[in-house]
């Protein structure tokens, strides 16, 4: 497992947990992609921003489409103290 940064404390909102369960997934699959620098379904500008943020200790955001086409976000704080798995509407 080649992770690019530490996640800090990992938490998930109840809505994200419910949606992942509904799709037969758990948070570890999206968390691992995020930690490996696979930012998911972002446009080129957001991918470049994440790559810059990774090197410059800024907040990181990933977005992943689930099998039912719903989305979950994964956000790591700038100081790498916490990573949250959430729904876009939870933000």
| pLDDT tens digits, 14-60 | 999 999 999 999 899 999 999 999 999 999 999 999 999 999 999 99
**Quick one: pLDDT at residue 35?**
98
Contact 39, 50 (CB under 8 A): yes
Concatenated DSSP letters of 54-81: HHTT--EEEEEE-TTS-EEEEEE-TTSS
Radius of gyration of the chain (CA): 12
| pLDDT tens digits, 62-88 | 999 999 999 999 999 999 999 999 999
3-state DSSP assignment of residue 3: coil
């Amino acid at each position: 497992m080649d992770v690019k940064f530490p996640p800090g404390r990992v938490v998930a909102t109840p809505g994200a947990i419910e949606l992942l369960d509904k799709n037969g997934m758990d948070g570890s699959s999206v968390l691992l992609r995020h930690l490996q620098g696979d930012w998911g379904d972002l446009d080129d500008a957001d991918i470049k921003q994440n790559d810059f943020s990774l090197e410059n200790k800024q907040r990181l955001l990933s977005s992943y489409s689930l099998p039912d086409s719903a989305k979950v976000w994964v956000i790591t704080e700038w100081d790498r103290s916490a990573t949250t798995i959430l729904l876009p509407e939870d933000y």
